[in-house]
Chains A and B, each alone.
Chain A
Amino acid sequence: MLLSSTVNPAEIINQLFPNLWVFIAHIIATIILLILLSKWVYNPFRKAMRARRQKIQEMITDAADKQTKATIKEKTALEMLTTAKVDASSIISEARAEAEAKKHNLLDETKKEIVHLNEQARKELAKEKEQYQDDIRKAIINTAFDAAQHLLEKEINKEKHQKIIEDFIDNLN
Protein backbone atom coordinates (compact mmCIF):
# COMPACT_ATOMS: atom_id res chain seq x y z
CA MET A 1 0.00 0.00 0.00
CA LEU A 2 1.23 3.46 -0.78
CA LEU A 3 2.16 5.63 2.14
CA SER A 4 -0.28 8.37 1.12
CA SER A 5 -3.21 6.00 1.71
CA THR A 6 -2.20 5.10 5.21
CA VAL A 7 -2.37 8.65 6.51
CA ASN A 8 -5.94 9.11 5.32
CA PRO A 9 -8.48 7.23 7.50
CA ALA A 10 -11.25 7.82 4.97
CA GLU A 11 -9.34 5.83 2.36
CA ILE A 12 -8.67 3.01 4.80
CA ILE A 13 -12.40 2.82 5.52
CA ASN A 14 -13.15 2.64 1.81
CA GLN A 15 -10.54 -0.05 1.36
CA LEU A 16 -11.81 -2.07 4.32
CA PHE A 17 -15.48 -2.09 3.38
CA PRO A 18 -16.78 -3.79 0.22
CA ASN A 19 -16.36 -1.93 -3.04
CA LEU A 20 -18.52 -2.70 -6.08
CA TRP A 21 -16.00 -1.86 -8.81
CA VAL A 22 -13.18 -3.79 -7.16
CA PHE A 23 -15.53 -6.74 -6.70
CA ILE A 24 -16.62 -6.69 -10.35
CA ALA A 25 -13.01 -6.30 -11.53
CA HIS A 26 -11.93 -9.09 -9.21
CA ILE A 27 -14.65 -11.47 -10.41
CA ILE A 28 -13.86 -10.73 -14.08
CA ALA A 29 -10.11 -11.13 -13.43
CA THR A 30 -10.74 -14.40 -11.59
CA ILE A 31 -12.84 -15.84 -14.40
CA ILE A 32 -10.34 -14.74 -17.06
CA LEU A 33 -7.36 -16.06 -15.11
CA LEU A 34 -8.96 -19.39 -14.26
CA ILE A 35 -9.88 -20.01 -17.92
CA LEU A 36 -6.48 -18.81 -19.07
CA LEU A 37 -4.48 -20.84 -16.57
CA SER A 38 -6.53 -23.90 -17.42
CA LYS A 39 -6.31 -23.53 -21.23
CA TRP A 40 -2.81 -22.17 -21.68
CA VAL A 41 -0.89 -23.34 -18.66
CA TYR A 42 -2.14 -26.36 -16.72
CA ASN A 43 -3.72 -28.45 -19.50
CA PRO A 44 -0.78 -27.95 -21.92
CA PHE A 45 1.54 -28.73 -19.02
CA ARG A 46 -0.25 -32.01 -18.29
CA LYS A 47 -0.37 -32.85 -21.98
CA ALA A 48 3.37 -32.21 -22.30
CA MET A 49 4.07 -34.27 -19.19
CA ARG A 50 1.93 -37.11 -20.55
CA ALA A 51 3.77 -36.99 -23.87
CA ARG A 52 7.12 -36.91 -22.10
CA ARG A 53 6.13 -39.80 -19.80
CA GLN A 54 4.91 -41.82 -22.79
CA LYS A 55 8.14 -41.15 -24.66
CA ILE A 56 10.25 -42.16 -21.67
CA GLN A 57 8.12 -45.29 -21.22
CA GLU A 58 8.60 -46.15 -24.88
CA MET A 59 12.33 -45.65 -24.58
CA ILE A 60 12.49 -47.82 -21.45
CA THR A 61 10.44 -50.58 -23.10
CA ASP A 62 12.60 -50.36 -26.20
CA ALA A 63 15.77 -50.52 -24.13
CA ALA A 64 14.43 -53.50 -22.16
CA ASP A 65 13.49 -55.28 -25.41
CA LYS A 66 16.91 -54.62 -26.85
CA GLN A 67 18.57 -55.83 -23.68
CA THR A 68 16.51 -59.03 -23.72
CA LYS A 69 17.38 -59.59 -27.36
CA ALA A 70 21.03 -58.88 -26.68
CA THR A 71 21.05 -61.33 -23.75
CA ILE A 72 19.43 -64.01 -25.88
CA LYS A 73 21.91 -63.37 -28.69
CA GLU A 74 24.80 -63.44 -26.26
CA LYS A 75 23.60 -66.78 -24.89
CA THR A 76 23.22 -68.18 -28.40
CA ALA A 77 26.65 -66.87 -29.34
CA LEU A 78 28.19 -68.45 -26.27
CA GLU A 79 26.47 -71.75 -27.01
CA MET A 80 27.65 -71.57 -30.61
CA LEU A 81 31.15 -70.78 -29.47
CA THR A 82 31.20 -73.74 -27.10
CA THR A 83 29.80 -76.05 -29.78
CA ALA A 84 32.30 -74.70 -32.29
CA LYS A 85 35.17 -75.32 -29.89
CA VAL A 86 34.01 -78.89 -29.25
CA ASP A 87 33.51 -79.45 -32.98
CA ALA A 88 36.88 -77.97 -33.79
CA SER A 89 38.71 -80.16 -31.29
CA SER A 90 36.88 -83.27 -32.50
CA ILE A 91 37.61 -82.35 -36.12
CA ILE A 92 41.27 -81.81 -35.27
CA SER A 93 41.57 -85.13 -33.44
CA GLU A 94 39.68 -86.94 -36.21
CA ALA A 95 41.88 -85.33 -38.82
CA ARG A 96 44.95 -86.22 -36.84
CA ALA A 97 43.84 -89.83 -36.50
CA GLU A 98 42.94 -90.02 -40.18
CA ALA A 99 46.25 -88.47 -41.19
CA GLU A 100 48.08 -90.95 -38.99
CA ALA A 101 46.18 -93.81 -40.55
CA LYS A 102 46.82 -92.50 -44.05
CA LYS A 103 50.48 -92.07 -43.24
CA HIS A 104 50.71 -95.68 -42.09
CA ASN A 105 48.82 -96.91 -45.13
CA LEU A 106 51.02 -94.94 -47.44
CA LEU A 107 54.15 -96.24 -45.78
CA ASP A 108 52.86 -99.82 -46.02
CA GLU A 109 51.85 -99.40 -49.63
CA THR A 110 55.16 -97.80 -50.48
CA LYS A 111 57.04 -100.62 -48.82
CA LYS A 112 54.95 -103.17 -50.65
CA GLU A 113 55.46 -101.29 -53.89
CA ILE A 114 59.21 -101.26 -53.36
CA VAL A 115 59.23 -104.97 -52.62
CA HIS A 116 57.05 -105.59 -55.63
CA LEU A 117 59.19 -103.41 -57.87
CA ASN A 118 62.32 -105.14 -56.58
CA GLU A 119 60.77 -108.48 -57.26
CA GLN A 120 59.63 -107.42 -60.71
CA ALA A 121 63.04 -105.94 -61.51
CA ARG A 122 64.70 -109.10 -60.37
CA LYS A 123 62.34 -111.17 -62.50
CA GLU A 124 62.81 -108.95 -65.50
CA LEU A 125 66.54 -109.06 -65.01
CA ALA A 126 66.43 -112.84 -64.84
CA LYS A 127 64.19 -112.96 -67.85
CA GLU A 128 66.43 -110.59 -69.79
CA LYS A 129 69.43 -112.63 -68.76
CA GLU A 130 67.72 -115.79 -69.88
CA GLN A 131 66.71 -114.17 -73.12
CA TYR A 132 70.24 -112.93 -73.76
CA GLN A 133 71.57 -116.33 -72.98
CA ASP A 134 69.08 -117.81 -75.45
CA ASP A 135 70.02 -115.22 -78.02
CA ILE A 136 73.70 -115.90 -77.49
CA ARG A 137 73.08 -119.58 -77.67
CA LYS A 138 71.07 -119.16 -80.84
CA ALA A 139 73.76 -116.91 -82.30
CA ILE A 140 76.48 -119.41 -81.46
CA ILE A 141 74.43 -122.21 -82.99
CA ASN A 142 73.76 -120.14 -86.07
CA THR A 143 77.36 -119.11 -86.27
CA ALA A 144 78.38 -122.73 -85.79
CA PHE A 145 75.97 -123.72 -88.54
CA ASP A 146 77.30 -120.93 -90.73
CA ALA A 147 80.87 -121.98 -89.96
CA ALA A 148 80.08 -125.60 -90.65
CA GLN A 149 78.41 -124.59 -93.88
CA HIS A 150 81.43 -122.57 -94.87
CA LEU A 151 83.71 -125.47 -93.96
CA LEU A 152 81.73 -127.80 -96.09
CA GLU A 153 81.50 -125.43 -99.05
CA LYS A 154 85.16 -124.38 -99.23
CA GLU A 155 88.44 -126.17 -99.19
CA ILE A 156 90.01 -126.00 -95.92
CA ASN A 157 93.59 -124.77 -95.64
CA LYS A 158 95.55 -123.31 -92.94
CA GLU A 159 95.24 -119.73 -94.07
CA LYS A 160 91.52 -120.05 -94.87
CA HIS A 161 90.94 -121.76 -91.61
CA GLN A 162 92.63 -118.92 -89.83
CA LYS A 163 90.51 -116.41 -91.71
CA ILE A 164 87.26 -118.23 -90.95
CA ILE A 165 88.12 -118.28 -87.29
CA GLU A 166 88.95 -114.61 -87.35
CA ASP A 167 85.67 -113.83 -89.14
CA PHE A 168 83.83 -115.96 -86.68
CA ILE A 169 85.46 -114.13 -83.82
CA ASP A 170 84.63 -110.80 -85.48
CA ASN A 171 81.05 -111.87 -85.90
CA LEU A 172 80.94 -112.77 -82.29
CA ASN A 173 81.78 -109.19 -81.40
Chain B
Amino acid sequence: MNNKSFILANLIPDETQSGMGAWSYTILLPQLITIVITTFIIMMLSIGYYKRLKRLGPTDVPGGLVLFAEISIKWVEQQVVELMGPKYKSLTIYVMYLLLYIGIGNLMSVVGFESIATAYTVPLSMGLVTFIGIYYFGIKYHKIVFFKKYIVNPLELLTQFVPLISISFRLFGNLLGGSIIMALFSSLMGFIWGQIPYIGPVDLLSGVTLPFLSLYFDIFDGIIQAYIFAILTISYWALEIKEEGNKSSEERVVAVKRKPLSKKELKIAQKA
Protein backbone atom coordinates (compact mmCIF):
# COMPACT_ATOMS: atom_id res chain seq x y z
CA MET B 1 0.00 0.00 0.00
CA ASN B 2 1.55 3.30 -1.06
CA ASN B 3 1.35 6.45 0.98
CA LYS B 4 -1.61 7.98 -0.92
CA SER B 5 -3.82 4.89 -0.68
CA PHE B 6 -2.95 4.60 3.04
CA ILE B 7 -4.22 8.13 3.70
CA LEU B 8 -7.40 7.54 1.67
CA ALA B 9 -8.08 4.28 3.52
CA ASN B 10 -7.76 6.10 6.80
CA LEU B 11 -10.20 8.87 5.82
CA ILE B 12 -13.14 6.46 5.43
CA PRO B 13 -14.58 4.39 8.32
CA ASP B 14 -13.90 0.67 8.03
CA GLU B 15 -17.33 -0.98 8.23
CA THR B 16 -15.90 -4.47 8.36
CA GLN B 17 -13.85 -3.88 11.47
CA SER B 18 -15.28 -3.90 14.99
CA GLY B 19 -13.91 -2.98 18.41
CA MET B 20 -10.68 -1.00 18.66
CA GLY B 21 -9.69 -2.21 15.20
CA ALA B 22 -12.27 0.16 13.72
CA TRP B 23 -10.57 3.21 15.23
CA SER B 24 -8.48 5.49 13.11
CA TYR B 25 -7.46 8.96 14.18
CA THR B 26 -7.51 10.21 10.59
CA ILE B 27 -11.09 9.24 9.71
CA LEU B 28 -13.27 12.11 8.45
CA LEU B 29 -16.11 12.50 10.92
CA PRO B 30 -19.40 14.32 10.12
CA GLN B 31 -18.77 16.62 13.12
CA LEU B 32 -16.22 18.45 10.95
CA ILE B 33 -19.07 19.98 8.92
CA THR B 34 -20.88 20.92 12.13
CA ILE B 35 -17.79 22.70 13.43
CA VAL B 36 -17.49 24.69 10.20
CA ILE B 37 -21.21 25.58 10.13
CA THR B 38 -21.25 26.48 13.84
CA THR B 39 -18.24 28.75 13.39
CA PHE B 40 -19.91 30.35 10.39
CA ILE B 41 -23.18 30.94 12.29
CA ILE B 42 -21.39 32.51 15.28
CA MET B 43 -19.36 34.63 12.86
CA MET B 44 -22.54 35.88 11.15
CA LEU B 45 -24.17 36.66 14.50
CA SER B 46 -21.07 38.55 15.65
CA ILE B 47 -20.90 40.58 12.45
CA GLY B 48 -24.62 41.32 12.68
CA TYR B 49 -24.26 42.48 16.27
CA TYR B 50 -21.16 44.56 15.50
CA LYS B 51 -22.75 46.30 12.49
CA ARG B 52 -25.95 47.11 14.37
CA LEU B 53 -24.03 48.31 17.44
CA LYS B 54 -21.91 50.64 15.28
CA ARG B 55 -25.03 52.42 14.10
CA LEU B 56 -26.24 53.07 17.65
CA GLY B 57 -25.28 56.22 19.52
CA PRO B 58 -24.86 56.34 23.31
CA THR B 59 -28.36 57.75 23.73
CA ASP B 60 -30.10 55.41 21.23
CA VAL B 61 -32.30 52.62 22.55
CA PRO B 62 -31.01 49.19 21.49
CA GLY B 63 -33.48 46.65 20.18
CA GLY B 64 -33.69 43.19 18.64
CA LEU B 65 -30.38 41.39 18.24
CA VAL B 66 -28.34 44.12 19.97
CA LEU B 67 -30.61 44.15 23.01
CA PHE B 68 -30.63 40.36 23.26
CA ALA B 69 -26.86 40.19 22.84
CA GLU B 70 -26.26 42.93 25.42
CA ILE B 71 -28.49 41.26 28.01
CA SER B 72 -26.75 37.91 27.35
CA ILE B 73 -23.21 39.33 27.48
CA LYS B 74 -24.05 41.26 30.66
CA TRP B 75 -25.43 38.11 32.23
CA VAL B 76 -22.32 36.08 31.30
CA GLU B 77 -20.06 38.87 32.57
CA GLN B 78 -21.99 38.96 35.84
CA GLN B 79 -21.57 35.21 36.27
CA VAL B 80 -17.81 35.46 35.66
CA VAL B 81 -17.42 38.42 38.03
CA GLU B 82 -19.49 36.74 40.75
CA LEU B 83 -17.52 33.51 40.54
CA MET B 84 -14.00 34.70 39.76
CA GLY B 85 -13.96 38.35 40.71
CA PRO B 86 -13.71 41.52 38.61
CA LYS B 87 -10.03 40.87 37.93
CA TYR B 88 -10.92 38.05 35.54
CA LYS B 89 -13.69 39.91 33.72
CA SER B 90 -11.94 39.27 30.40
CA LEU B 91 -12.66 35.52 30.77
CA THR B 92 -16.20 36.46 29.71
CA ILE B 93 -14.98 36.00 26.11
CA TYR B 94 -14.03 32.37 26.78
CA VAL B 95 -17.33 31.66 28.58
CA MET B 96 -19.24 33.29 25.72
CA TYR B 97 -17.30 31.09 23.30
CA LEU B 98 -18.14 27.96 25.31
CA LEU B 99 -21.84 28.80 25.51
CA LEU B 100 -22.16 29.70 21.83
CA TYR B 101 -19.92 26.97 20.44
CA ILE B 102 -21.40 24.12 22.47
CA GLY B 103 -24.97 25.52 22.42
CA ILE B 104 -25.22 26.20 18.69
CA GLY B 105 -23.09 23.12 17.89
CA ASN B 106 -25.52 20.90 19.80
CA LEU B 107 -28.58 22.56 18.29
CA MET B 108 -27.31 21.66 14.81
CA SER B 109 -28.69 18.17 15.37
CA VAL B 110 -32.20 19.67 15.07
CA VAL B 111 -31.52 20.45 11.40
CA GLY B 112 -29.92 17.11 10.63
CA PHE B 113 -26.21 17.62 11.40
CA GLU B 114 -24.21 15.73 14.01
CA SER B 115 -23.97 17.44 17.40
CA ILE B 116 -20.58 19.02 17.88
CA ALA B 117 -19.98 17.29 21.22
CA THR B 118 -20.66 13.78 19.92
CA ALA B 119 -17.05 13.68 18.72
CA TYR B 120 -15.26 13.22 22.05
CA THR B 121 -12.26 15.13 20.71
CA VAL B 122 -14.22 18.38 21.09
CA PRO B 123 -15.30 18.03 24.76
CA LEU B 124 -11.90 16.56 25.60
CA SER B 125 -10.08 19.54 24.05
CA MET B 126 -12.28 21.98 25.95
CA GLY B 127 -11.97 19.88 29.10
CA LEU B 128 -8.18 20.03 28.74
CA VAL B 129 -8.36 23.83 28.72
CA THR B 130 -10.36 23.67 31.97
CA PHE B 131 -7.87 21.17 33.40
CA ILE B 132 -4.86 23.28 32.46
CA GLY B 133 -6.70 26.32 33.85
CA ILE B 134 -7.04 24.57 37.23
CA TYR B 135 -3.27 24.04 37.28
CA TYR B 136 -2.63 27.60 36.11
CA PHE B 137 -4.78 29.19 38.85
CA GLY B 138 -3.60 26.64 41.43
CA ILE B 139 0.08 27.35 40.82
CA LYS B 140 -0.52 31.08 40.46
CA TYR B 141 -2.32 31.43 43.80
CA HIS B 142 -0.90 28.54 45.86
CA LYS B 143 2.62 28.44 44.39
CA ILE B 144 4.47 25.31 45.55
CA VAL B 145 1.81 24.56 48.19
CA PHE B 146 -0.45 23.45 45.33
CA PHE B 147 1.60 20.23 45.02
CA LYS B 148 1.62 19.62 48.78
CA LYS B 149 -1.68 17.74 48.64
CA TYR B 150 -0.13 15.09 46.37
CA ILE B 151 2.54 14.37 48.96
CA VAL B 152 0.10 14.37 51.89
CA ASN B 153 -2.42 12.21 50.07
CA PRO B 154 -1.05 10.31 47.03
CA LEU B 155 -4.61 9.40 46.02
CA GLU B 156 -4.93 13.01 44.91
CA LEU B 157 -2.70 12.04 41.98
CA LEU B 158 -5.61 9.99 40.66
CA THR B 159 -8.42 12.32 41.65
CA GLN B 160 -6.78 15.30 39.96
CA PHE B 161 -8.00 13.95 36.63
CA VAL B 162 -11.61 13.78 37.82
CA PRO B 163 -12.54 17.29 36.60
CA LEU B 164 -11.14 16.54 33.13
CA ILE B 165 -12.97 13.23 32.81
CA SER B 166 -16.22 14.35 34.43
CA ILE B 167 -16.54 17.63 32.54
CA SER B 168 -15.76 16.12 29.13
CA PHE B 169 -17.65 12.85 29.49
CA ARG B 170 -20.69 14.63 30.93
CA LEU B 171 -21.09 16.59 27.73
CA PHE B 172 -20.25 13.68 25.43
CA GLY B 173 -22.27 11.11 27.41
CA ASN B 174 -25.38 13.24 27.73
CA LEU B 175 -25.64 13.82 24.01
CA LEU B 176 -24.65 10.28 23.05
CA GLY B 177 -27.05 8.88 25.66
CA GLY B 178 -29.82 11.09 24.37
CA SER B 179 -29.36 9.87 20.81
CA ILE B 180 -29.18 6.21 21.95
CA ILE B 181 -32.43 6.64 23.91
CA MET B 182 -34.01 8.21 20.86
CA ALA B 183 -32.77 5.36 18.63
CA LEU B 184 -34.12 2.75 21.05
CA PHE B 185 -37.41 4.59 21.37
CA SER B 186 -37.67 4.84 17.62
CA SER B 187 -37.09 1.06 17.32
CA LEU B 188 -39.72 0.42 20.00
CA MET B 189 -42.26 2.62 18.24
CA GLY B 190 -41.45 0.88 14.94
CA PHE B 191 -41.91 -2.50 16.59
CA ILE B 192 -45.29 -1.49 18.12
CA TRP B 193 -46.41 0.02 14.82
CA GLY B 194 -45.42 -3.19 13.04
CA GLN B 195 -47.72 -5.26 15.27
CA ILE B 196 -50.80 -3.44 14.00
CA PRO B 197 -52.14 -5.37 10.99
CA TYR B 198 -53.06 -3.79 7.63
CA ILE B 199 -51.02 -0.63 8.28
CA GLY B 200 -48.65 0.84 5.73
CA PRO B 201 -44.84 0.95 6.12
CA VAL B 202 -44.80 4.64 7.27
CA ASP B 203 -44.09 4.68 11.00
CA LEU B 204 -46.57 7.30 12.17
CA LEU B 205 -46.12 6.45 15.85
CA SER B 206 -42.45 7.48 15.79
CA GLY B 207 -43.36 10.57 13.81
CA VAL B 208 -45.77 11.66 16.53
CA THR B 209 -43.74 10.79 19.63
CA LEU B 210 -40.11 11.46 18.61
CA PRO B 211 -40.40 15.27 18.18
CA PHE B 212 -41.18 15.58 21.90
CA LEU B 213 -38.12 13.53 22.78
CA SER B 214 -36.08 15.57 20.34
CA LEU B 215 -37.30 18.72 22.05
CA TYR B 216 -35.73 17.51 25.28
CA PHE B 217 -32.63 15.62 24.10
CA ASP B 218 -31.63 17.92 21.23
CA ILE B 219 -32.76 21.39 22.30
CA PHE B 220 -33.05 21.43 26.09
CA ASP B 221 -30.19 19.04 26.76
CA GLY B 222 -27.95 20.72 24.18
CA ILE B 223 -28.40 24.16 25.73
CA ILE B 224 -28.30 23.05 29.37
CA GLN B 225 -25.09 21.08 28.79
CA ALA B 226 -23.44 24.15 27.28
CA TYR B 227 -24.42 26.15 30.37
CA ILE B 228 -23.20 23.44 32.76
CA PHE B 229 -19.89 23.08 30.94
CA ALA B 230 -19.26 26.82 31.04
CA ILE B 231 -20.31 27.25 34.68
CA LEU B 232 -18.31 24.24 35.84
CA THR B 233 -15.21 25.48 34.05
CA ILE B 234 -15.22 28.83 35.82
CA SER B 235 -16.28 27.18 39.09
CA TYR B 236 -13.23 24.88 39.02
CA TRP B 237 -11.00 27.86 38.39
CA ALA B 238 -12.78 29.97 41.02
CA LEU B 239 -12.24 27.25 43.64
CA GLU B 240 -8.49 27.51 43.17
CA ILE B 241 -8.63 31.28 43.55
CA LYS B 242 -10.99 31.12 46.54
CA GLU B 243 -8.91 28.69 48.57
CA GLU B 244 -6.00 31.07 48.39
CA GLY B 245 -7.90 34.17 49.48
CA ASN B 246 -6.96 34.17 53.22
CA LYS B 247 -3.53 35.71 53.07
CA SER B 248 -3.88 39.48 53.00
CA SER B 249 -6.77 41.64 54.02
CA GLU B 250 -7.03 43.07 50.52
CA GLU B 251 -7.27 39.62 48.99
CA ARG B 252 -9.81 38.63 51.63
CA VAL B 253 -12.02 41.54 50.62
CA VAL B 254 -11.86 40.40 47.00
CA ALA B 255 -12.65 36.82 48.05
CA VAL B 256 -15.69 37.95 50.06
CA LYS B 257 -17.01 39.84 47.06
CA ARG B 258 -16.94 36.68 44.96
CA LYS B 259 -19.75 34.22 45.26
CA PRO B 260 -18.50 30.83 44.04
CA LEU B 261 -20.95 27.95 43.78
CA SER B 262 -21.61 26.31 47.12
CA LYS B 263 -20.78 22.60 47.48
CA LYS B 264 -24.47 21.79 47.24
CA GLU B 265 -24.87 23.79 44.04
CA LEU B 266 -21.74 22.22 42.60
CA LYS B 267 -23.04 18.73 43.35
CA ILE B 268 -26.37 19.53 41.67
CA ALA B 269 -24.55 20.84 38.61
CA GLN B 270 -22.29 17.79 38.49
CA LYS B 271 -25.25 15.43 38.73
CA ALA B 272 -27.03 17.13 35.82
Residue A86 interfacial (CB < 8 Å): no
Further 11 A-B residue pairs, CB within 8 A, beyond A23-B121, A25-B35, A37-B46: A5-B114, A18-B121, A19-B119, A20-B25, A22-B29, A26-B122, A26-B125, A30-B101, A38-B93, A49-B70, A55-B59
In the complex, how many residues of chain B place their beta carbon closer than 8 angstroms to a beta carbon of chain A?
63
B115 contact from A1, A20, A29, A36, Cβ within 8 A: A1
Query: In the assembly, what is the distance between CA of A12 and CA of B183, in Å?
Result: 14
On chain B, the residues within 8 Å of A16 by CB distance are 120, 172
The segment from A40-48, A66-74, A132-140, A152-160 found at the interface with B is A40-48
Query: A22 with B97: in contact, given A1-B118, A1-B179, A17-B25 (CB under 8 Å)?
Result: no
Query: A26 with B121: in contact, given A2-B114, A40-B49, A52-B58 (CB under 8 Å)?
Result: yes
| A93 to B: closest C-beta gap in Å | 57
Q: A36 near B46 (CB under 8 angstroms)?
A: yes
Query: In the assembly, what is the distance between CA of A48 and CA of B50, in Å?
Result: 11
On chain A, the residues within 8 Å of B26 by CB distance are 19-21
A contact set with B: CB distance below 8 Å: 1-3, 5-23, 25-27, 29-30, 32-34, 36-38, 40-42, 44-45, 48-49, 51-52, 54-55
Query: In the assembly, what is the distance between CA of A166 and CA of B248, in Å?
Result: 153
Q: B93 near A42 (CB under 8 angstroms)?
A: yes
Query: In the assembly, what is the distance between CA of A25 and CA of B122, in Å?
Result: 9
* In the complex, residue of chain B having the shortest beta-carbon distance to the beta carbon of A6: B183
Q: A14 near B49 (CB under 8 angstroms)?
A: no
Query: A44 with B53: in contact, given A1-B118, A2-B109 (CB under 8 Å)?
Result: yes
Query: In the assembly, what is the distance between CA of A51 and CA of B57, in Å?
Result: 9
Main secondary structure of the interface of B (DSSP, over half): helix
Q: A36 near B29 (CB under 8 angstroms)?
A: no
Interface centre among A18, A25, A34 (most CB of B within 10 A): A25
Query: In the assembly, what is the distance between CA of A38 and CA of B97, in Å?
Result: 10
Q: Can you spell out 15 A-B residue pairs with CB atoms less than 8 angstroms apart?
A: A1-B115, A3-B179, A6-B183, A12-B176, A13-B22, A15-B29, A15-B31, A18-B120, A26-B35, A30-B125, A34-B93, A37-B96, A40-B46, A42-B96, A48-B70
B50 contact from A12, A27, A40, A54, Cβ within 8 A: A40
The segment from B37-45, B148-156, B223-231 found at the interface with A is B37-45
Q: B18 near A9 (CB under 8 angstroms)?
A: yes
Q: A25 near B32 (CB under 8 angstroms)?
A: yes
B58 contact from A1, A33, A44, A55, Cβ within 8 A: A55
Q: Which of B71-100 contact A (CB under 8 A)?
A: 73, 92-94, 96-97, 100
On chain B, the residues within 8 Å of A6 by CB distance are 176, 179-180, 182-183
Q: B25 near A32 (CB under 8 angstroms)?
A: no
On chain B, the residues within 8 Å of A29 by CB distance are 35-36, 38-39, 101
Query: In the assembly, what is the distance between CA of A10 and CA of B18, in Å?
Result: 6
Q: B15 near A33 (CB under 8 angstroms)?
A: no
Residue B47 interfacial (CB < 8 Å): yes
On chain B, the residues within 8 Å of A7 by CB distance are 183
Residue B23 interfacial (CB < 8 Å): yes
* In the complex, residue of chain A having the shortest beta-carbon distance to the beta carbon of B42: A33
* In the complex, residue of chain A having the shortest beta-carbon distance to the beta carbon of B123: A26
Query: In the assembly, what is the distance between CA of A92 and CA of B127, in Å?
Result: 92
